[in-house]
Amino acid sequence: MRNPNGQIMRTYRVPILLAGCVLIVAAPLLVYPIFLMKVLCFALFAAAFNLLMGYTGLLSFGHSAFFGGSAYVAAYAAKSWGLPAEVAILLGTLSGVILGLVFGWVGIRKQGIYFGMITMAMAQVVYFIAVQAPFTGGEDGIQGVPRSSLIPGVDLSNDLQMYFFTLAVTILGLAIVYRTVNSPFGEIIRSIRENEQRAESLGYDVRRFKLMAFTISAALTGTAGSLKAIAMQLATLNDVEFFMSGEVVLIVLIGGVGTMSGPMIGAAIMITMQHYLASFGIWVKAIQGLIFVICVLAFRKGIVGELSDWLERRSSAGLTEPASSAGQPQQLAGH
CA 190 to chain centre: 17
Closest of 60, 307, 28 to residue 160, by C-alpha: 28
Give me the mean pLDDT over the 82-110 stretch.
Answer: 94
The rounded mean pLDDT for the chain is 86
Most confident listed range (7-11, 36-40, 309-313): 36-40
- 3 state SS of 235: strand
pLDDT for 280: 76
CA 151 to chain centre: 27
Confidence of residue 307 (pLDDT cuts 50, 70, 90): confident
Q: What is the pLDDT of residues 148-192, one digit of tens each?
A: 988 888 889 999 999 999 999 999 999 999 999 999 999 999 999
Confidence of residue 6 (pLDDT cuts 50, 70, 90): very low
pLDDT for 23: 80
Where along the chain do its domains lie?
Answer: 32-241
Question: How far is 316 from 283, CA to CA, in rounded Å?
Answer: 44
pTM metric for this prediction? 0.88
Confidence of residue 113 (pLDDT cuts 50, 70, 90): confident
Residue type, 283: W
Closest of 144, 138, 141 to residue 235, by C-alpha: 141
Residue 267 sits at the vertex; the CA angle it makes with 266 and 271, to the nearest 5 degrees, is 120
pLDDT for 285: 75
Is 207's pLDDT higher than 50? Answer: yes
| Cβ pair 64, 240 in contact under 8 A | yes
Give me the mean pLDDT over the 294-304 stretch.
Answer: 78
The phi and psi torsions of 2 (rounded to 5 degrees) equal -75, 145
| Cβ pair 316, 267 in contact under 8 A | no
| Cβ pair 200, 206 in contact under 8 A | yes
Give me the mean pLDDT over the 100-114 stretch.
Answer: 90
Give me the mean pLDDT over the 200-221 stretch.
Answer: 93
Give me the mean pLDDT over the 246-273 stretch.
Answer: 89
Question: How far is 299 from 292, CA to CA, in rounded Å?
Answer: 10
Q: What is the pLDDT of residues 133-153, one digit of tens each?
A: 888 988 889 999 999 988 888
- 3 state SS of 183: coil
The DSSP line for 24-92 is: HHHHHHHS-HHHHHHHHHHHHHHHHHHHHHTTT----S-HHHHHHHHHHHHHHHHHTS---HHHHHHHH
Residue type, 288: Q
Q: What is the pLDDT of residues 66-83, one digit of tens each?
A: 999 999 999 999 999 999
CA torsion through residues 279, 280, 281, 286, sign: negative
Q: CB neighbours (10 Å) of residue 211?
A: 18
